[in-house]
């Protein structure tokens, strides 16, 4: 079934041979029982531009943070570049460039000095070529002219570019970008898309998280959708069924003829308990279960949950 933080779609799971990112049953539950990612199986082929699509709250950033070893999963496994995370973080992360939840910048330093500090914190970076690398990274993201300006004076789009430049200071086998075009104007978005294509052509696998359908469609070779499935009940007693589901805490309950549907219940709610509650309330069941959305259905459904179709 398709739960919060579950990837669906024809390209969401590929052959694991050559996978740069691989998860099996990856799950994250926060204190208080909030389920952020539930049983995620994901394979990212080497050399791909992999689109990770979903609305806010669907578990995209939580998944990325687990892949990068920033937080531990509650259960399941994650492998990046063939090694288990977070155990192999020290070995893996020098080969990964990442821009997650916006860059962390020193506002009192210039863009150039921010990158110099990032580079100096990398134990694998050759200090003799540091300034050359920084200049090349700034030029690649279109910030060469603003390199001397303090970061606190940068616009949101410029800060995004600077964060991307930091991720490109070294050659990377994998580049993980969380909403990389946030704050960019249309021209800036086109430039980032071009850069992503260039990086992929050079052999870098790009994992691109976004809520923009147009962005994913234009640049990605593979796509996974973080979505929720729906509980579907067919019954001659739809009113009573809807009442019982609401009493059991389910949300998004709708009635269409003899069909009652609701948001898929959280992982700690057993379907057997729900069906038992319906039966004990004398609700006659013709069918009962979780419907798995197709990729097309997921796109249509998710556009109603905050997606920007126009880009």
Asked if the model's pLDDT at residue 11 lies above 60, the reply is no
What are the tokens at 258?
């003899």
What are the tokens at 13?
């799971």
Q: Which long-range contacts (CB under 8 A, 24 or more apart) does 124-131 make?
A: 124/94, 124/170, 125/169, 125/170
Check residue 101 and report its DSSP letter.
S
pTM of the model: 0.70
Task: Please give the helix or strand (H or E) that residue 247 lies within, else none.
Answer: helix 238-247
Phi and psi torsions of 245, nearest 5°: -60, -40
How much is the pLDDT for 36? 82
Residue spans per domain, the chain: 6-227, 230-291
pLDDT tens for 73-123 read: 999 999 999 999 999 998 999 899 888 877 788 899 999 999 999 999 888
The class of domain 230-291 in CATH terms is: alpha beta
Q: Which residue from 222, 221, 193, 227 is spatially nearest to 307, judged by alpha carbons? A: 227
pLDDT tens for 132-183 read: 999 999 998 889 999 999 999 998 888 888 988 998 898 889 999 988 887 7
- CB 224, CB 67: distance < 8 Å: no
- Parallel, antiparallel, or unpaired for β 96-99 and 83-85? unpaired
Asked if the model's pLDDT at residue 9 lies above 60, the reply is no
Check residue 2 and report its DSSP letter.
-
Q: Which residue from 82, 84, 99 is spatially nearest to 207, judged by alpha carbons? A: 99
Asked if the model's pLDDT at residue 268 lies above 70, the reply is no
If you compute the radius of gyration of the chain from its CA atoms, what whole number of angstroms results?
A: 22
Tell me which CATH homologous superfamily contains domain 6-227: P-loop containing nucleotide triphosphate hydrolases (3.40.50.300)
């Amino acid at each position: 079934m398709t739960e919060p933080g579950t990837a669906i779609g024809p390209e969401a799971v590929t052959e694991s041979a050559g996978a740069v990112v691989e998860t099996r049953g990856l799950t994250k539950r926060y204190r208080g029982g909030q389920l952020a990612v539930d049983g995620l199986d994901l394979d990212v082929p080497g050399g791909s531009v992999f689109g990770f699509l979903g609305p806010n709250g669907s578990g995209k950033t939580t998944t990325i943070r687990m892949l990068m070893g920033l937080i531990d999963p509650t259960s399941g496994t994650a492998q990046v570049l063939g090694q288990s995370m977070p155990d192999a973080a020290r070995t893996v992360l020098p080969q990964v460039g990442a821009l997650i939840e916006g860059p962390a910048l020193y506002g009192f330093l210039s863009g150039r000095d921010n990158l110099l500090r990032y580079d100096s914190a990398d134990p694998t970076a050759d200090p003799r070529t540091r300034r050359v690398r920084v200049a090349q990274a700034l030029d690649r993201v279109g910030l060469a002219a603003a390199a001397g300006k303090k970061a606190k004076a940068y616009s949101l789009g410029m800060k995004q570019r600077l964060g991307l430049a930091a991720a490109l200071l070294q050659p990377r086998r994998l580049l993980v970008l969380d909403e990389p075009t946030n704050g960019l104007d249309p021209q800036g978005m086109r430039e980032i898309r071009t850069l992503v294509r260039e990086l992929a052509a050079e052999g870098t696998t790009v994992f691109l998280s976004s809520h923009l359908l147009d962005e994913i469609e234009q640049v990605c070779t593979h796509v996974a959708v973080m979505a929720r499935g729906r509980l579907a009940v067919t019954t001659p007693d739809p009113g009573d069924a809807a009442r019982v589901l609401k009493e059991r805490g389910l949300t998004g309950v709708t009635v269409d003829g003899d069909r009652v549907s609701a948001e898929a219940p959280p992982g700690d709610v057993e379907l057997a308990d729900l069906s038992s509650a319906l039966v004990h309330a004398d609700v006659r069941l013709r069918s009962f279960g979780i419907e798995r959305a197709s990729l097309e259905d997921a796109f249509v459904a998710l556009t109603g949950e905050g997606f920007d179709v126009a880009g």
